[in-house]
A and B are shown apart, each in its own frame.
Chain A
Amino acid sequence: MPAIIAENISKTFGQVKAVDHISFHVDSGEIVGLIGPNGAGKTTTIRMILDIFKPDSGSISVLGGPMSEAKKDLIGYLPEERGLYQDITLEECLTFLASLKGMEMGLIKEKLEVYLDSFDLLDYRKKKLKELSKGMQQKAQLITTFIHQPKLVIVDEPFSALDPVNTQMVKDVFREERINGTAIIMSTHQMNQAEELCDRILLVNKGQIVLEGSLENLRAQFARREILVKAAGQLPGNIRGVDFVEPVNDHQRLYMSETATANDVLAGLVNSGVQLESFEVEQPSLDEIFIQTVTGRKEIK
């Protein structure tokens, strides 16, 4: 069952069309990356899903129907800006926010112990939030997002302020939640994280979805027709299916002709007696796809 179905939603602030007739869905057990440049409409879309803003037009179905107060207990939300009370202890703050998700005190205590331990925050439970580092506060906010075992999680820049160890730990949490059937929307500028985690990508620009699909599909759409090879000795002057060869450090980049396939090039190299050490069909990174889509520039290098 889709956790979110957004149909033709729009939102305008004054003269600015923040979201312009977009439609998408997010299935249970799926991590969807919401990426796009600043001001693309990502946060507005998230706030409309959460019913913080109402769309001017279109409809959003959340967990099988319109958003309601009861459904808020089934949603975990991590906003980009940290929203925690700074003048109370970590334990008090997390207990309060978990209680707002309808959890009973006994269960909160039990779960909090586990989460604080796994996020390495157990020793800081009696510290005031303002005494914690940004990274620790980010982990605290992540605990509030997951502690009530939501069916839908919406996270905005979840990895900001986290060191590599904690980033890895959070990724593991995301993967675990996906296995448990939780639908996750992740808005981020960190393309490498999106590449690593997301099953599907929604690229938003100027309030519209300009690209949508699995990373594989997107890469196929943006395939660069370039092959990186390392060979013992010189490459022959003419290789079947290759228009141009460019040296890159101790490798050679081969630019394929319009009609050639990677198999054609590989066969050509082997038939020419080239001793190949490595042969890699180059894939565009999400970063490159993003920049190319948003700016319209083809050559990223």
Chain B
Amino acid sequence: MKKLWRIFRMEYTRRVKTKGFVFGVISMPVIILLAVGLGFVSQRMQSNPLPIGYIDFSGVFGQAVIPSSSLSFPVEPVEMRVYQDLELGKQDLINQKIQALFAIPADYLETGKVDTYIAEKPGENAYARMRDFLRRNLIAGESTEISERIRKGSTLTIISLDGTQKLDARNWLSILFPFIFILIFTITINISGNYLMQSVVDEKENRTIEVIVSSASSNQLMVGKIIANLLVGLTQLFIWLFFTALGLIGLEMIIQSGVLPRLEPTHFMLLFGILAPGTLLVAALMTMAGVTVAELYEAQQVSILFTLPVLSPIWFSTSILSNPDKPLSIFLSIFPLTAIVTMPIRVSFTAVPDWQFILAIFTLWISALLALLLAAKVFRISMLSYGKRLSIKELISKLRKNAQSV
């Protein structure tokens, strides 16, 4: 166990110290920050510090108070002026005392239309400020709770007839979870799988493997490598998710419109019951691809054999979405390779019976562990076939021979 831990630690620290990893980790939050920053800057640039004016012909806003702006950063708050004379307002507009003049017509309550007079293109903050003024004055007579509820909107929850499945229409994570899940899986397996295959192919060619297996077993080496490289991929992913969460929290603090998703227990079950063994399974299969070939590009080609079946349920997604409880959907959500993508889709759109969920988790974990053991065996057989690709026939024959000699 100590040796496994040491192999794991060496593999993990070597990988996370590489320039590629550091660049990969930093690039995502930097891109997000840049995008958000640019959004704020562009929002700010579209603001105009000049006041806006309005004139009310409807009588609805006769008693209106001009509340201080509830608009927050990056929208620049502007002062509001009330006019009784349209011409005076227009004159101020010409003299650049205001950036826009809003005329609320007599039939405003029927039509909802507001006329806007401008001399030059006003800032986006002029429209935002006016909309905020109208909304707040329209609900001014209501209690604070009602006003707040109108402002924040309502949450609709879709419940299946038997009550076992609930879908919060405003919790975007529930709806997008299957897709986010597939994205997480694809990213993890891409990062980890590539590191793994590169590590195995390189070390096989530069003979480091020979030195290590003279000190540790091939099982320890393989398991240590696979888990370490998986964690490298997950580390990168979690750092990205952490920054995404920070971004969402920041966004929520600014716009306060409920963008923060709620994590449900099912999400955790999918992460630890399906995603974890799923990535382990595919990583082990990809490692097998790495040890049987001589070059990284060959390993990448062979690994498609394993990643394609995993992503194949996307082809059947229409059928799975419209018939999540039909035999094809059930089979695909239990069969280890296809369960990784199918189960999250089913879970989001139907009440998956417990036995199916448990069976899928069980088969995935068992397959992942068997794949790990098989990867270690294949590794042992082919680790010293330098510069040579092992054919499937050779591999099977060696595996049989190996099984007999053990």
Contacts and interface: CB of A to CB of B under 8 A. Distances in A.
Given A72-B215, A87-B18, A100 B7 contact: yes
A141 B402 CA distance: 31
Nearest to A81: B207
Nearest to A50: B214
Interface string A83-95: 1111110000000
Contacts of B113: none
A24 interface: no
A99 interface: yes
Contacts of A47: 384
Contacts of B405: 54
Interface string B197-232: 000000100111111111111000000000000000
Interface in A30-74: 47, 50, 52-54, 69, 72-73
Interface string B1-37: 0110011001000100010000000000000000000
Contacts of A50: 213-214
B217 A86 contact: no
B389 to A, nearest CB: 14
Given A52-B214, A88-B14, A83 B384 contact: no
Contacts of A100: 3, 6-7, 212, 215-216
A141 to B, nearest CB: 8
A49 to B, nearest CB: 10
Contacts of B18: 87
Interface in B150-209: 203, 206-209
Contacts of A83: 203, 206-212
B208 A72 contact: no
B384 A69 contact: no
Nearest to B18: A87
A interface: dominant SS = loop
A100 B8 CA distance: 12
A105 to B, nearest CB: 10
Contacts of B14: 85, 87-88
Contact of A53 (B3, B10, B384): B384
A75 B214 contact: yes
A81 to B, nearest CB: 4
Nearest to B211: A83
A151 interface: no
B6 A85 contact: no
Contact of A144 (B2, B3, B6, B211): B211
A170 interface: no
B208 A84 contact: yes
A55 to B, nearest CB: 9
A109 interface: no
Nearest to B7: A100
Contacts of A144: 211
A84 B384 contact: no
A161 interface: no
A117 to B, nearest CB: 23
Interface residues of B, number: 24
A82 B383 CA distance: 16
Contacts of A82: 206-207
A83 B383 CA distance: 13
A81 B210 contact: yes
Nearest to B216: A100
A102 B212 CA distance: 13
B163 to A, nearest CB: 55
Contacts of A141: 211
Interface in B293-318: none
A77 B405 CA distance: 24
Contacts of A52: 210, 213-214, 383-384
Nearest to A73: B215
B17 to A, nearest CB: 8
Given A52-B384, A87-B18, A88-B14, A97 B217 contact: no
Given A52-B384, A100-B6, A84 B211 contact: yes
A100 B203 CA distance: 17
A69 B206 contact: no
Contacts of B214: 50, 52, 72, 75, 77, 79
Nearest to A55: B405
Nearest to B205: A81
Contacts of A88: 10, 14
Nearest to A148: B215
A189 interface: no
Contacts of A53: 384
Contacts of A81: 206-207, 210
B201 to A, nearest CB: 14
A96 interface: yes
A230 interface: no
Contacts of A97: 211-212, 215
A84 B206 CA distance: 8
A101 interface: yes
Contact of A85 (B2, B208, B215): B208
Contacts of B212: 83, 97, 100
B390 to A, nearest CB: 12
A230 to B, nearest CB: 50
Given A52-B210, A77-B211, A83-B209, 12 more contacts: A52-B214, A69-B217, A77-B214, A79-B207, A79-B210, A83-B211, A83-B212, A85-B10, A87-B14, A88-B10, A97-B212, A101-B215
20 contacts: A47-B384, A50-B214, A52-B210, A53-B384, A54-B405, A73-B215, A77-B211, A81-B207, A81-B210, A82-B207, A83-B206, A83-B208, A85-B208, A87-B14, A87-B18, A100-B3, A100-B6, A100-B7, A141-B211, A144-B211
Enumerate the 3 nearest inter-chain pairs by beta-carbon distance, A residue then B residue, closest first.
A83-B211, A100-B215, A83-B207
Interface of A: 47, 50, 52-54, 69, 72-73, 75, 77, 79, 81-88, 96-97, 99-102, 141, 144
